[in-house]
Amino acid sequence: MPRLPIRVRLTLLYGALFMACGVILLGVTYLLLDAGLTDRFDGVALQITKEGGIAPVPEASTHNLPSEPAAGLAGSPDLRELQDRYRAATLQSLLRQGALALGVLTVVATLFGYLMAGRVLRPLNRISQTARRITSRGDLSERLAFTGPRDEVTELADTFDSMMGRLEKSFQDQQRFIADASHELRTPLAINRTLVEVALRRKTATEDTKRLGTSLLAVNERNERLINGLLALAKGETEVANRTPVDLTELARHTAELHQPQAAEAGIGLRLDTRPATTSGNAVMLERIIHNLLENAIRYNEPNGWVRLTTRTTPHGAATLTVENTGPVVACQDIEALFQPFRRLGADRTDSERGSGLGLAIVRAIARSHDGDVTAAPRERGGLMVTATLPG
């Protein structure tokens, strides 16, 4: 059973405490009044004078009234009985009117407590709404800028703003490092590739030089793929800052069209089954998801196999992209290992001609940076079915 909101719980607690205090106060008042009304009144003996008036008896000006009524008042209630009736009626009226007043005041106090709880919790609601906007939009520059008396809530808001400032700076530093590393790592490889290609084009190049140059180009190409994969993985693990609406269906069609020549060259049939599906995020990074999935599906396939790319929208509004392909049989226990960097079926090395082993790791990193995830399942007849789920 879900817990009640804090505002409701505070209101109920305040109302319960008010009612408990009211009941205690009413009980104490009842006991004090009952004790006061229990005291007996003293009576005064009277006599009728000769003139027809009434005067107290001199010998007994004050004494307790007789317990039995006078002969002339036979059948009439005595003073003590009247006193008991008055006491019972007074206490009963106190309970009835006190309970009614307590009920009305409890309702009023509960409503007042609800309003006050909302006022106290309003800064917390602002913090929650701001955090939700930052999560959905990825705008780390947004701040609460809460103004008010210096109390615990203001301190919490200031701490939240300070935390967001540090996160924004960390994000900017990471983006700057990725850009710098991309330049510093790619430039030497590009220079090496150019030097080797120039050496191979020389007319004086011997066969041994050409074979060595070809090997060096292959090594250089693998290093470029590895560095590009590592940089893509670093970018994918970074939270997406600026998100825009992305038509996943159109993106899938465009990427599939680009991979059509590669599939045809490998003898693989590329099928497309798209339905409307939209999400929000970075279109370039989302295209990288489709690119990596299609590239893996074509590369790790079987002769005359096929690859099917589908897009859907779930009943809950999430966008899904599924790439299914034929290929070798994959054990269920090996599925999770495929998403680890530098892991491939039957090999953990990075110098494979088939890739660097970063494809699915990059896919999962990008999906999670978009608040989504990627799952994979083996097909009974061999191959994989990989599904990326993204928020709609």
| Shared domain check, 147 and 77 | no
Binned at pLDDT 50, 70 and 90, residue 336 comes out as confident
Residue 1 lies in a domain: no
SS3 sequence of the chain:
CCCCCHHHHHHHHHHHHHHHHHHHHHHHHHHHHHHHHHCCCCECCEEECCCCCEEECHHHCCECCCCCCCHHHCCCCCHHHHHHHHHHHHHHHHHHHHHHHHHHHHHHHHHHHHHHHHHHHHHHHHHHHHHHHHHHHCCCCCCCCCCCCCCHHHHHHHHHHHHHHHHHHHHHHHHHHHHHHHHHHHHHHHHHHHHHHHHHHCCCCCHHHHHHHHHHHHHHHHHHHHHHHHHHHHHHCCCCCCCEEEEHHHHHHHHHHHHHHHHHHCCCEEEEEECCCEEEECHHHHHHHHHHHHHHHHHCCCCCCEEEEEEEECCCCCEEEEEEECCCCCCHHHCHHHHCCCCECCECCCCCCCCCCCHHHHHHHHHHHCCCEEEEEECCCCCEEEEEEECC
Binned at pLDDT 50, 70 and 90, residue 311 comes out as very high
By residue range, what is the domain housing residue 348? 243-390
pLDDT score, position 229: 65
Residue 57 lies in a domain: no
pLDDT score, position 378: 92
Residue 24 lies in a domain: yes
| Shared domain check, 235 and 203 | yes
What predicted TM-score, i.e. pTM, was given to this entire model? 0.52
Q: pLDDT of 221-237, one tens digit each?
A: 877 777 776 676 666 65
CATH number of the domain at 190, please: 1.10.287
| Shared domain check, 290 and 369 | yes
